[in-house]
């Protein structure tokens, strides 16, 4: 009986964390889409297009919070959880590392507000927003570091409590900001979404003794380990958002702000769908691959994951495509009708993208820094080249969506070739 109970408890812990992560992402996705719906109704495609670069900036802020070490915190908390002294030492080092990175970025946001505003938004009028992003970066680290520890300790109840409280509380605040604050209010609302879990995380962390474990104290060995995650995060946080900013700028110049808003809506919907699957890959698929030392066995695990995740995503994509005439006006507004005509190509690209991620997460699991950077840059260069080429040749949004699908068709083939080589090494 006790053996069965232990097996059941182990199975619960193994399934609860991924399930909680998927549910939390679903909530975050819903909140993001609700905020975008508020903006779409209040300002239309043009307003959404004008705020597009800010959305990319908030993505970068969230991914690079604390120097981008959150995945590293989760990994090493899980590894050191049975060794309290070593865990405390690691968390002190992680706190010192993360706070240092956050303070440096905060100082830069105040000192270089005007040039950063000009680079991101094409005007100095948004310079006031840059320090707010710097403060948001610090708050993101505090909240997300506590969440990362909770994930490493596999405590899904607290994870769900933090995310649920944070995301649900931001909805009425965002509505009021957008309704009464116009473009400035909408900008603050978008920043508010990424920091909404900070306060509940601090409250939960204080009650569970996690805050006391985050007293900064540098440890050189831990800093070296975390630096690898920083390098990975620099590429992950910057490469694709910057690619989107460049494409968005060209779309605005060649096709107009309204077309840019349609494209922005398409990418946000795409990101929401992909997020469900990437969260599962990060919380379940990657840890499973990390535990496999044999190359052939790891490759088999990847192929098995492909056989499950590929068809599952294809079914979701087909359902969204068939219901696009209902989903698009429901999520955005009737002004976004052109999105219905191009979403099919985007969904094909999303399917190929998530399949390539199933393979490329092997690189993340093995902390293969060089291969990760090559992979991230490859997909960005392909997409940027195809999309800008289509725009400069006078084509429209449909061809940009086709460029996205072509990018990930090529990238998926490249990841399969890399997997074959890895398995025979």
Supply 34's token pair.
Answer: 């609700």
Residue 182 lies in a domain: yes
Which range among 76-90, 153-167, 214-228, 361-375 shows the weakest confidence by mean pLDDT?
361-375
Question: What mean pLDDT comes out for the span 91-96?
Answer: 92
CA–CA dist 95, 141 (Å, integer):
9
Residue 350 lies in a domain: yes
Q: Do residue 195 and residue 266 come from a single domain?
A: no
CA–CA dist 235, 255 (Å, integer):
29
Which pLDDT value is given to residue 367? Answer: 57
Greater confidence (296 vs 4) lies with: 296
DSSP per position, 317-330: HHHHHHTHHHHHHH
| DSSP state letter for 262 | H
CA–CA dist 396, 72 (Å, integer):
41
Q: Do residue 23 and residue 80 come from a single domain?
A: yes
Largest CA-CA distance found in the chain, in angstroms, rounded? 70
Question: What mean pLDDT comes out for the span 391-402?
Answer: 91
Q: Do residue 163 and residue 292 come from a single domain?
A: no
Distances (CA, A) of 147 to 110, 197, 355, 381: 27, 9, 27, 33
**Which residue, chain included where needed, has tokens 């819903």?**
30
Residue 110, judged by CB atoms within 10 A of its CB (0-12, 13-18, 19+), counts as: exposed
CA–CA dist 110, 118 (Å, integer):
14
In sequence order, which residues have a C-beta less than 8 Å from that of residue 333 and are 6 or more positions away? 37, 40, 41, 44
CA–CA dist 327, 231 (Å, integer):
38
The answer to whether the beta carbons of residues 54 and 190 sit under 8 Å apart is yes
CA–CA dist 89, 76 (Å, integer):
11
The answer to whether the beta carbons of residues 195 and 139 sit under 8 Å apart is yes
Residue 18: pLDDT band with limits 50, 70, 90: low
Which range among 38-42, 164-168, 348-352, 359-363 shows the weakest confidence by mean pLDDT?
359-363
Residue 240 lies in a domain: no
Residue 74 lies in a domain: yes
Which pLDDT value is given to residue 418? Answer: 86
Average pLDDT of the chain?
A: 85
Q: Which of 202, 220, 238 is the last residue of a domain?
A: 220
Residue 66: pLDDT band with limits 50, 70, 90: confident
Residue 287: pLDDT band with limits 50, 70, 90: low
Q: Do residue 288 and residue 373 come from a single domain?
A: yes
Which pLDDT value is given to residue 6? Answer: 47
Q: Do residue 179 and residue 43 come from a single domain?
A: yes
* Start-to-end Cα distance in the chain: 44
Q: Do residue 178 and residue 71 come from a single domain?
A: yes
Q: How many CA atoms lie within 13 A of 133 on its CB side?
A: 29
CA–CA dist 282, 42 (Å, integer):
35
Residue 235 lies in a domain: no
Which pLDDT value is given to residue 214? Answer: 83
Supply 290's token pair.
Answer: 């990390």
Q: Do residue 215 and residue 171 come from a single domain?
A: yes
pLDDT in tens, 313-365: 999 999 999 999 999 898 888 888 889 889 999 999 999 999 998 888 777 66
106 pLDDT exceeds 60? Answer: yes
Question: For 52, left (φ over 0), alpha (ψ -120 to 50), or beta?
Answer: alpha
The whole domain housing 373 covers: 256-423
Q: Which of 174, 199, 220 is the last residue of a domain?
A: 220
| DSSP state letter for 123 | S
Which pLDDT value is given to residue 20? Answer: 67
Residue 239 lies in a domain: no
Of 158, 157, 154, 161, nearest to 77 (Cα)? Answer: 154
Of 102, 105, 131, 127, nearest to 117 (Cα)? Answer: 127
Which pLDDT value is given to residue 290? Answer: 67
pLDDT in tens, 169-183: 999 999 999 999 988
Residue 378 lies in a domain: yes
The answer to whether the beta carbons of residues 237 and 63 sit under 8 Å apart is yes
Which range among 12-21, 210-219, 330-339, 345-354 shows the weakest confidence by mean pLDDT?
12-21
Q: Which of 161, 196, 220 is the last residue of a domain?
A: 220
**Which residue, chain included where needed, has tokens 């948004």?**
126
Q: Do residue 43 and residue 114 come from a single domain?
A: yes
Q: Do residue 403 and residue 279 come from a single domain?
A: yes
129 pLDDT exceeds 70? Answer: yes
In this prediction, what percent of the chain has a pLDDT beyond 90?
Answer: 33
Q: Mark 200-234 as b/e (b = at least 16 C-beta within 10 Å).
A: bbbebbeebebbebbeeeebeebbebbbebbebbb
Which pLDDT value is given to residue 33? Answer: 84
| DSSP state letter for 282 | I
Which pLDDT value is given to residue 122? Answer: 78
76 pLDDT exceeds 90? Answer: no
Domains contained in the chain, number: 2
Which pLDDT value is given to residue 372? Answer: 76
Greater confidence (92 vs 235) lies with: 92
Q: Do residue 61 and residue 133 come from a single domain?
A: yes
Question: What mean pLDDT comes out for the span 246-273?
Answer: 87
Q: Do residue 264 and residue 379 come from a single domain?
A: yes
Neighbours of 284 (CB within 10 A): 18
Q: Do residue 141 and residue 56 come from a single domain?
A: yes
Residue 251 lies in a domain: no
């Amino acid at each position: 009986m006790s053996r069965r109970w232990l097996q059941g408890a182990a199975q619960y812990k193994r399934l609860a964390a991924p399930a909680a992560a998927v549910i939390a992402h679903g909530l975050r996705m819903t909140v993001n889409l609700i905020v975008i719906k508020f903006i779409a109704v209040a300002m239309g495609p043009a307003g959404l297009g004008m705020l597009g670069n800010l959305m990319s900036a908030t993505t970068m802020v969230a991914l690079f919070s604390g120097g981008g070490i959150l995945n590293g915190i989760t990994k090493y908390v899980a590894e050191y959880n049975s060794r309290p002294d070593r865990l405390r030492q690691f968390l002190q080092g992680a706190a010192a590392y993360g706070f240092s990175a956050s303070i440096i970025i905060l100082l830069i946001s105040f000192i270089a507000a005007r040039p950063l505003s000009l680079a991101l938004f094409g005007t100095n009028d948004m310079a006031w927003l840059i320090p707010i992003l710097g403060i948001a970066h610090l708050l993101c680290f505090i909240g997300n570091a506590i969440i990362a520890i909770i994930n490493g300790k596999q405590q899904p109840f607290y994870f769900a409590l933090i995310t649920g409280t944070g995301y649900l509380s931001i909805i009425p605040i965002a509505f009021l900001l957008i309704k009464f604050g116009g473009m400035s209010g909408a900008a603050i609302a978008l920043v508010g979404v990424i920091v909404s879990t900070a306060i509940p995380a601090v409250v939960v962390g204080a009650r569970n003794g996690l805050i006391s474990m985050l007293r900064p104290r540098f440890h050189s060995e831990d800093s070296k380990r975390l630096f690898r995650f920083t390098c990975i995060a620099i590429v992950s946080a910057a490469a694709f958002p910057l690619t989107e900013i460049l494409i968005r700028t060209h779309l605005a110049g060649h096709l107009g702000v309204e077309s840019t808003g349609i494209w922005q809506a398409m990418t946000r919907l795409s990101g929401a769908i992909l997020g469900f699957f990437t969260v599962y890959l990060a919380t379940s698929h990657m840890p499973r691959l990390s535990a496999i030392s044999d190359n052939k066995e790891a490759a088999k695990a990847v192929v098995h994951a492909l056989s499950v995740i590929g068809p599952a995503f294809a079914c979701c994509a087909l359902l969204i495509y068939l219901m696009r005439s209902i989903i698009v006006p429901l999520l955005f507004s009737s002004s976004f009708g052109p999105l219905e005509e191009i979403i099919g190509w985007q969904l094909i690209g999303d399917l190929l993208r998530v399949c390539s991620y199933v393979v490329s997460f092997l690189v993340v699991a093995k902390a293969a820094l060089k291969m990760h950077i090559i992979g991230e840059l490859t997909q960005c260069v392909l997409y940027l080249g195809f999309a800008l080429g289509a725009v400069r040749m006078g084509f429209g949004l449909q061809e940009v969506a086709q460029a996205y699908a072509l990018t990930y068709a090529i990238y998926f083939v490249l990841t399969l070739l890399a997997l074959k080589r890895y398995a025979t090494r």
